Chain A
Amino acid sequence: MKRTKRIAGAASTLLWVAVALSVCYGATRLGLGGVTEPGSGFIFFWSGLILAVLSLIAFAESRRSEEEATRPTGALNWRKIVLVLFALVLYGFFLERLGFMLTTFLLLSFFLGLIEGVYWRKSLAVAAGAAFGAFAIFELWLKIRLPHGIFGF
């Protein structure tokens, strides 16, 4: 258990350092300028460098202390999380193609029926009500433009 945690800690530090150094590299390509006239990459370079140093300190700190590196409360349901995230990406893809109402109805039905396990008829009714209600409030009342798609709604 301890070993797995240590490996996870090392992997996350590596990831942080890699991100930080990539920012530094990108910053040098933007041009750092000098202290008299800082360039576009100046803040990124120094922030990246500080982030890399902090990541290493955090790694050392987690090894030194017995403190839990992860939040102890409740395990996450990764299967459902991945499904919801995938559905949200699809939502983004179809939003302007199929329009707000239809896409939102499909997403919410999926979310309530499949993810939350609400009875299908109830899920469809709530999803339809929420999609239409949101359209009425935002598009019709608040005049915020929502995508209409090929069906015109």
Chain B
Amino acid sequence: MLESLTSLAYGFNIALQPQNLLYCFIGVTMGTLVGVLPGIGPTATIALLLPATFKLNPISAIIMLSGICYGAMYGGSTTSILLNIPGEASSVVTCFDGYQMARQGRAGAALGISAFGSFIAGTISIFGLILLAPTLAEFALKFGPPEYFALMVMGLAVVAYLARKSTVKALMMAVLGIILGCVGLDPITATPRFTFGILELADGIGIAPVVMGLFGIAEVLENLAAPTGADVFAGKLKGFWPNRQDWRRSIGPIARGSLLGFFLGLLPGVGAIVPQFLSYALEKKISPNPERFGNGAIEGVASPEACNNAAVGGTFIPLLSLGIPSTAMTAILLGALMIYGLTPGPLLIRSSPDLFWGVIASMYIGNILLLVLNLPLIPLWVRVLKIPYSYLSCLIILFCLIGAYSLNNSVTDVYIAVIFSLVGLLFKKFAFEPAPFVLAFVLGPLLETALRRSLILSDGSLLIFLERPISAGFILFSIVVLAAPLFSQIRLGRGLSEED
């Protein structure tokens, strides 16, 4: 514990350097902005801003990109409360009671409690991260290829299980992701695989152009038919500080939401959306007046908002301590770490303590910045929402094209982004979710290497995955998760309406 606190002090030393502070500020502001704007989420924004970070040092870059992740959670609630449209997918639940509060003239209190709730949850999850990530990383040093393979399979199984529509379609996406993720030179024999003689594909299909196409350009193409014209809240916003009764009603839900979000966020594949729904359901269940929910109950805003913020902290643990992303958003962060030449995994904390502790400290600073800046800036965000979508889509296209081109200075990557924009559009049209695809795309090469090494280790016996207790546990859990929909009609992901 003492060691962690000393390391955290070291982290603050790094995060408070003017350059890192500036990038933290840019990250949280950009995060809030995209959280506010419906139609563009944090996953796409991280991808869009990747090229801007190529020349930065990795610490500043990851500080900025993480700022986007949790900043978006703050921003998303603003649109949910004022417009009844989730600014990003994990703010869907906030619409239920937040918008009702706004209609009753209590928009200020709803925005206030969501900001304070997010701050408290952010603080709790950062402490959880400090306590758990190094311990988990130490534990993960015992992992061999079979454990890694089983863990990745479990992550993909959970993502498929949480699919909004069809588990089978989500699994198809995951398998397609693995196939495309493995294109390029064989990691063991260096044989070109499915490169069709294109030299640029020897290193594989880059994550940047794929994500730009899937999440950026595809979003613009989808909105060409129906420009999003929203009725922005016209009333005067006041009274952001919740009153004593609001606090009394909210403090329990904030604590419960934070813990639920954090621990569910830890699980590979869960992300921030499902915990938010669960926290809302939990509060409604234990409330003495469940009929208030949906009619402007402040608990219905406090708990889910705390929950989605804490879940983001939780998703950073498998990323930083195991090198395994658990959501599409952290998958892109993993891709970013690799682009910066870092090797994510259990050794990251030891080999790059400045990065790990610097990023954690910056998350705390970022949360403070968000709390201080967010509420006074709400009138500005309301004005941003009035910018015509045509200008925003023009900027999205521009950033996507620069992002796709500039990583390798290659026009092939521009074409890849264009192809994946069409693919992304078709995914949306035919209800295939892109999140399992992106996760599998990033995990594909790691999964393949772990599988092949495991089989070499075991002399070809698949039993190696069941003979080692940790991997057996992961595999068993995956089987249970995948078999569950066969026996039950209840699926957590059903009813969720937006893509991650």
Contact = CB atoms under 8 A, between A and B. Distances in A.
A111 B225 contact: no
B415 A92 contact: yes
A67 B165 contact: yes
Contact of A144 (B55, B225, B448): B55
Contacts of A95: 405, 411, 414
A136 interface: no
A138 B51 contact: yes
Interface stretch (B109-117, B186-194, B254-262): B186-194
Interface in B186-208: 186, 188-189, 191, 193-194
B232 interface: no
Interface string A34-58: 1111111111100110110011011
Given A115-B224, A144-B51, 16 more contacts: A23-B179, A31-B191, A35-B460, A35-B462, A40-B193, A43-B452, A68-B431, A85-B421, A88-B217, A88-B421, A96-B411, A104-B401, A108-B398, A118-B390, A134-B398, A144-B54
A44 B425 contact: no
A10 interface: no
Given A12-B430, A95-B411, A47 B221 contact: no
A16 B172 contact: yes
9 contacts: A23-B179, A40-B186, A51-B176, A55-B172, A69-B431, A71-B430, A77-B224, A84-B221, A112-B394
A142 to B, nearest CB: 5
A91 B220 CA distance: 17
B193 A54 contact: no
Interface of A: 12, 16, 23, 26, 30-31, 34-44, 47-48, 50-51, 54-55, 57-58, 61, 67-71, 74-77, 80-81, 84-85, 88-89, 91-93, 95-96, 104, 107-108, 111-112, 115-118, 126-127, 130-131, 134, 137-138, 142-147
B409 interface: yes
A54 B172 contact: yes
B430 A70 contact: yes
B contact face: mostly helix, strand, loop, or mixed:
helix
B428 interface: yes
Contacts of B430: 12, 69-71
Interface in B355-384: none
B402 A81 contact: no
Nearest to B169: A58
Contact of B429 (A37, A51, A76, A118): A76
Nearest to B218: A81
Those 3 A-B pairs whose CB atoms lie nearest each other, nearest first: A36-B460, A35-B460, A116-B390
A41 to B, nearest CB: 7
Contacts of A112: 390-391, 394
B431 A51 contact: no
B179 A92 contact: no
A74 B406 contact: no
Interface in B411-469: 411, 414-415, 418, 421-422, 425, 428-431, 444, 447-448, 451-452, 455-456, 459-462
A95 B168 CA distance: 40
Contact of B418 (A70, A85, A117): A85
Contacts of A138: 51-52, 402, 406
A44 B193 contact: yes
A129 to B, nearest CB: 10
Contacts of B51: 138, 144
Contacts of A58: 166, 168-169, 172
Contact of A104 (B220, B398, B459): B398
Nearest to B431: A71
A71 B225 CA distance: 15
A110 to B, nearest CB: 10
Most buried by B among A31, A89, A142: A142
B36 interface: no
A30 to B, nearest CB: 6
Given A77-B225, A96-B411, A116-B393, A34 B460 contact: yes
Contacts of B459: 36
A47 to B, nearest CB: 5
A128 to B, nearest CB: 12
Contacts of B165: 67
Given A44-B179, A54-B175, A58-B168, A36 B224 contact: no
A112 B395 CA distance: 11
Given A43-B448, A81-B224, A51 B172 contact: yes
A42 B452 contact: yes
A126 B429 CA distance: 31
B222 interface: yes
Nearest to B226: A74
